Amino acid sequence: MQTDLAEALQFTAEQAEKAAGACNKVQVLDLPCEPKGVYGLVTADGTFQRLVAGASPRGHALHRVDQIVDFVQDARDRLSAKPTVWYSRKGVQVLLVDDSLAADLQSRTTITFAFTPQFELIRSCADSSPWHDPKQFCLWIRSKLIDCLRDGREILSIMKDLRFSVQSGGKSTIGQGRESIGREVDAEVVSEYGNLPDDLFFDVRVIDDPSLLRRQAIQCALEVDPQKCLMRVVPLAGQIQNALDAELEGIGSLLKSTLDCPVYHGVP
C-alpha cells in the first residue's frame, strides 16, 4: 500500500514539474490508485490540486404507473427532493429537481409506455387491414380480439352462419369509337341469426400496464366483399387518435389526483 502511494505521489510530482515548465497551460491528470472520479488538476503556475468529480445524475426505471406515488413520496421524505412529474405519449418522467443542477443533469425516474397487443393490432388495420373469409375472420377475432369486441358472442354467431349469394348477368355496350362488355352483379350476405352490423366496437386497454385498467372504445367499419366472400375491419377516421387522447387524459387525471407535486403534460 505504501509503495502504491509513493508511486502515485511520484507520478503526481513529475506531472506537476512538467506542467510548471509549460507556460499558460492547464492539465487534467488521471491519478493512479485513486477511485474513478478523482483526478488531478495542474494549473499554469504548476500548482497541483486533487479534485473529486460531482456525482452523476441517478436514473431509475419503474414498470407501473401506480408505483409513482410511492417513489415520489420516498424521494421527498428520504432525499429531500422536489419532484416534478411529466407525462406524454411516450411515458412518464419524474424529475428529482435540484436547483443547483442544469436541466440535463437532473436525477430522474422514467416509465416507458408500450401499447397493448390488441391496440397495436387495431391500429395497424387503419393502414393495411387484411381481408379474411368468414371462417378465418371468426378465428382472427376469437384468437386476438374477442375479449374486447363488444357483443362479441352474438356477432360471432351471425358470422358463423353467413351465406353469400351472387347472381350475375351479361351486359354489352357499343358506343362511338368504343366497345365494352360489362356484367350486372347482384350480391348479398345473409344469416339466420340476424343481420351483420355496419360497425364493430372494440373496448381496448391502450397502454400495456397492469395498473391501467381503463378501456377506450374504438369504432371500426365492418367491410364485406360479397363477390369474393371476404371481410375485414377498418377503424373509422380519428378513432385511434381519440383513444390515445382519452387514455392520456385519464393518466393525467390519475397522476394529478394522487400526487402532491406539479404534474405537466409534455416532456421536460
The reply to whether the predicted model has a pTM over 0.85 is no
pLDDT in tens, 205-221: 999 999 999 999 999 99
pLDDT in tens, 171-203: 444 333 333 444 443 445 555 556 778 899 999
Residues in CB range of 50: below 8 A, 6 or more apart: 31, 38, 39, 40, 41
Q: How confident is the model at residue 116 (pLDDT cuts 50, 70, 90)?
A: very high
